[in-house]
Amino acid sequence: MSHVEPVLLARAALSRLIEPSDTVGQALVAAAGPETAALVASGRQRAGTTLRRDMESLLEERGVRGTDRVFAEALARWLPRTADLAPQRDLQTVHRFGGRMLVPEDSDWPAALADLGQSMPFCLWSRGQGTIPELGQCLALVGSRDATSYGLATTGDLSAGLVQRGRTVISGGAYGIDAQAHRSALAVSGSRTGSDKRAAPDGIRPSAGGSTETSTLAVLAGGVDRLYPAGNDDLLRAVAETGLILSEVPPGSAPTRWRFLQRNRIIAALAAATVVVEARWRSGALNTAHHAAELGRGVGAVPGSVYSANSAGCHRLLRDGSAVCVTDAAEALELANPFALAPEDDGGRDRAGVPADHDGLSVEDILLLDALPLRKAVPPQKLSAVAGLGAAAVRAGLARLELSGLARRTGDGLWQRGERPPVHPSTTRPPSKGD
């Protein structure tokens, strides 16, 4: 690597010196720009009064008072790390792993991250051949690490269904739900072909370009050279091969608790919708859902047994109204494309609020049908009394019911129930999923 743009070196340095979501660091970069910010953060340049004043207003926007004090504390946080500062080496490392560093100055920097405002990462260290698809193409599937067989099954179906529709599944590379989301996406992408995609059942064409070739994308809390957890090493290598691995912290960085929490905001920002598949009452997945809601992204939750502690977090989101109930990939897609046409592969379920209660029969026909005996035939006058219908209504109704096969004339003007079995409302079968 001969010449490296100064901005790359600057942002690489910033991501080494400053922890993710460091408010003061973000204000510094916003006020001074990356290159000056790197010099200031590493103590090689003092912050002038103009810069301090600009930072002050930026920090006050976010409710932070006493710029001088917090800035001094910030420098005290950053300076101890200057010893480890070697941006050139970090860039070489990530290249060695077949990756690169993405910066906001790049044309292919994901526009969706701008929604994070000042919390936008300084840069993204990537690993893999894939690219980051546009927002509408990406959905995040997140959940607990201690998943149940139910959670793994629903995650697998959702992930496969989304990739079959040409979408990219984003997750965090953790055990449990995350791993299943990546694994299932990779499995489908292997078999996916262009024609499959054109046949995407929801009728929404995948976006042009190779973006949808990236079936899955993992955002890690540590460096992209340190695949974590170790147990997912092979899986994450496979993600890097056909998909992409991202992190805002430089190579060698440990996946600390703090970085896990901040990582979640990037998953939420890159995806048009985040679906929590399985989560306990308290779970990091809820943190990701919260970030998604703050960003105005779609938030979904998969329902489960009320006896499963692993679904308590999902039910909590459904109950407080911060998530929409999602039971399959088509419904997940509606979250990402709320204005798209209703899926055609929804088993013909009508989207009307209230189901038809009596198979489209008129009130009079229902009364008449109820009055028709199954076995012995009766005269219209009898039907009139039992059904509580006038003679004319009975005549007209019998004609209609006879057409639909619900009433049968037995000769000499007597009538009885037709062959077509009546359907009781509370047992009417849906022409739908699961049946």
| Nearest distance, CB of residue 396 and a second copy, angstroms | 11
Nearer to a second copy among residue 63 and residue 411 (C-beta): 63
| Nearest distance, CB of residue 2 and a second copy, angstroms | 31
| Nearest distance, CB of residue 311 and a second copy, angstroms | 7
- Please tell me the chain's helix, strand, coil percentages from 3-state DSSP, rounded to the nearest 5: 50, 10, 40
Listing DSSP states for 203-271 in one string gives: -PPPPSSGGGG--EEEE-SS-TTS-SSGGGHHHHHHHHHHSEEEESSPTT----HHHHHHHHHHHHHH-
Q: How far does the chain reach from its first CA to its final CA, in angstroms?
A: 60
Nearer to a second copy among residue 214 and residue 264 (C-beta): 264
Listing DSSP states for 363-403 in one string gives: HHHHHHHHHS-SSS-B-HHHHHHHHT--HHHHHHHHHHHHH
Question: How far apart (Å, rounded) are the C-alpha atoms in residues 270 and 210?
Answer: 17
What one-letter code names the amino acid at 177?
A: I
With CA atoms as reference, report the closest residue to 325 among 276, 281, 285.
276
| Nearest distance, CB of residue 196 and a second copy, angstroms | 23
Residue 229: is the preceding peptide bond cis (ω within 30°)? yes
| Nearest distance, CB of residue 64 and a second copy, angstroms | 13
Nearer to a second copy among residue 230 and residue 392 (C-beta): 392
With CA atoms as reference, report the closest residue to 158 among 335, 352, 317.
335
| Nearest distance, CB of residue 410 and a second copy, angstroms | 21
| Nearest distance, CB of residue 386 and a second copy, angstroms | 8
Question: How far apart (Å, rounded) are the C-alpha atoms in residues 336 and 274?
Answer: 9
Q: Rounded to the nearest 5°, which phi and psi values hold at 116?
A: -80, -10
| Nearest distance, CB of residue 208 and a second copy, angstroms | 31
Those residues whose C-beta lies under 8 Å from the C-beta of residue 365, and which sit 6 or more positions away, are 397, 400, 401, 406
Residue 166 neighbours by CB distance under 10 Å: 23
Q: Are 303 and 327 in contact (CB under 8 A)?
A: yes
| Nearest distance, CB of residue 242 and a second copy, angstroms | 25
Nearer to a second copy among residue 220 and residue 326 (C-beta): 326
Question: How far apart (Å, rounded) are the C-alpha atoms in residues 275 and 277?
Answer: 6
At 81 the three-state DSSP class reads helix
